Structure 1
Amino acid sequence: MDFVAIYCMEVYDVSSYLEEHPGGDDVLLAATGKDATEEFEDAGHSKSARELMEDFCVGELDPSSPSIPELEIVSKKQPTGIPQKLMDLTKQYWVVPVAVVAISVVVGFLHSRRK
């Protein structure tokens, strides 16, 4: 999947830069599919960052086009079924096994003190 952002009517494919971006990939993902000029300028990027951008430029938008369409980013991760649901339940209800172990320890301790 390509992650494309727009800056000053130029289109940038930042797919290969996601993991290297100093601000984290979430910043780039938030700018994907829209005009990110304002966000880029507000971040106060250095001269070297602006020079690095040139490597990711893949084209320019036609200024006569009516608007820039917004893209929706969705996860392609599919639910894995019953095992995943079981893991989710065990994460939610970890208190029960911990309580059983704690009670067992207390009972064992009290039983050993009586002897």
Structure 2
Amino acid sequence: MGGDSKVFTLSQVSKHNNPKDCWLIIEGKVYDVTKFLEEHPGGDDVLLSVTAKDATDDFEDIGHSSTAKAMLDEFYIGDIDTATISSTTTYTPPKQPHYNQDKTKEFVIKMLQFLVPVIFLCVAVGIRFYAKPAE
């Protein structure tokens, strides 16, 4: 991080909100994490869901390791103009799917898609082998 850091507005950072160009704001610093999207352990949708806003709370809530925090240095591109971030600042969120942290519904559906045919197969085999022939 050099002394001549570039300063970006929220509007400028907000334009970088897709998988081919993704910038984040964490602790007043701007990071271009585009190259890291595929490597991120939580998936790229986690990072894309926090574009165009201050992602500090989201970053801290996860409890990133000191190694993860140190990795930010390689993605640093400048600072945010804090005057452009406030509770009254509005922006248009990017058109991207909402990140669903709770995958319970999808898990249940996938389990049922597997278990229902298996149950039918077991019942069919059981009837075939254990049914008494009619006399």
What TM-score does the superposition give when structure 1 sets the normalisation length?
A: 0.58
Structure 1: gaps (5+ residues): 76-115
1:72 Cα deviation after fit: 2.9
Q: Does 1:6 align with 2:35?
A: no
**Counterpart in the other structure of 1:45:** 64
**Counterpart in the other structure of 1:73:** 94
Structure 1 segment 33-112 matched on structure 2, within 5 A: 33-65=52-84, 67=86, 70=91, 72-74=93-95
- Greater relative contact order, per chain length (Cα 8 Å cut-off, separation 6+): 2
1:33 Cα deviation after fit: 1.5
Q: State how far apart, in whole Å, the 1-side matches of 2:90 and 2:65 are.
A: 28
Which has the larger share of strand?
Answer: 2
Between the two proteins, the alignment pairs up a number of residues equal to 75
Q: State how far apart, in whole Å, the 2-side matches of 1:58 and 1:2 are.
A: 13
The RMSD of aligned alpha carbons is 1.9
Larger Rg: 1
**Counterpart in the other structure of 2:38:** 19
TM-superposition CA deviations, 1:20-44 (whole Å, max 9, x none): 0011111101111210000000000
TM-superposition CA deviations, 1:29-84 (whole Å, max 9, x none): 11112100000000000010001011111100123335466453236xxxxxxxxx
Counterparts in 2 of 1:61 and 1:20: CA distance versus 1, 3 Å: same
What TM-score does the superposition give when structure 2 sets the normalisation length?
A: 0.50
Q: State how far apart, in whole Å, the 1-side matches of 2:75 and 2:92 are.
A: 19
Is the contact made by 1:12 and 1:56 (CA closer than 8 Å) also made in structure 2? yes
Which has the larger share of helix?
Answer: 1
